[in-house]
Amino acid sequence: MISIDEREKFYKLIESRTSIRKFKPEMPPKDTLQRILSAGMHAPSGKNRQNWRFFVVTGKKRDEYLKYSQKSWLGIKGVLQTRLKPSLYQFTERFFFTLGDAPVIIFCYSENSPEEKDLTSIGSVYMAAQNINLACQAEGLGCCTMGAPLEIKDEINEFLGITQKLELLCAIVLGYPDHEPPKPPRQTEGRVTWLE
């Protein structure tokens, strides 16, 4: 039975999460990272296939990844240039060049299978990704989920040495937050339809 206090804390945790794009360089302890990954693997999954596969990149390998992050920027900068105001565009470009100094990157992959629809397998991995987002928040860490690496999937597979048939779905960069960005307001209009 969950107490009112616990319930309030739960919703506060969800509502206080926001994407972090500037980090302190300190590395979170390994047991913290293991708890976060374990939270990811507590997510539900289609046919309980637990088809998520995580690749955790730190240290020199993380530094080597920056050139790939910069390359992925080329694929999306055009769209963002028209959508973002100049200061935000510059901040985002810098984020892609430095990953905001995030010391850890978790690449989230799906092992798809003929036993299950690809969309269901993919959805299961994004559920795990959201658990990871919330676990970061609970640990006093910040993170940003990134779809941009999908622009250069094949190169990233090679970089990570992936030989199995896996599908890259997102990267989650994480570390201790070094800014407090405002949370983009949520729109509720037209998002929910109630039927009786």
Ligand X SMILES: Cc1cc2nc3c(=O)[nH]c(=O)nc-3n(C[C@H](O)[C@H](O)[C@H](O)COP(=O)(O)O)c2cc1C
Q: Give me the 46-85 binding string for ligand X, x by CB under 6 A, dash otherwise.
A: ----------------------------------------
Neighbouring C-beta atoms of residue 21, cutoff 10 Å: 24
Q: Which is nearer to ligand X, 152 or 170 (CB)?
A: 170
Instruction: Restricting to residues 100-159, name those near ligand X by CB under 6 A.
Output: 144-148
- Minimum separation from the CB atom of position 193 to ligand X (A): 22
- Segment near ligand X (CB under 6 A); pick from 18-26, 43-51, 98-106, 111-119: 18-26
* Residue with the two structure tokens 């939270």: 39
73 contacts 148 by C-beta, under 8 angstroms: yes
- Minimum separation from the CB atom of position 167 to ligand X (A): 14
Q: Is 36 in the site for ligand X (CB under 6 A)?
A: no
- Minimum separation from the CB atom of position 79 to ligand X (A): 11
For 25, counting Cβ atoms within 10 Å of its Cβ (0-12 exposed, 13-18 middle, 19+ buried), the class is exposed
Q: Is 170 in the site for ligand X (CB under 6 A)?
A: yes
Q: How far is CA 25 from CA 5, 54, 103, 141, 171, in A?
A: 34, 22, 6, 12, 18
Q: Which residues bind ligand X (CB under 6 A)?
A: 18-19, 21, 95, 144-148, 170, 183-184
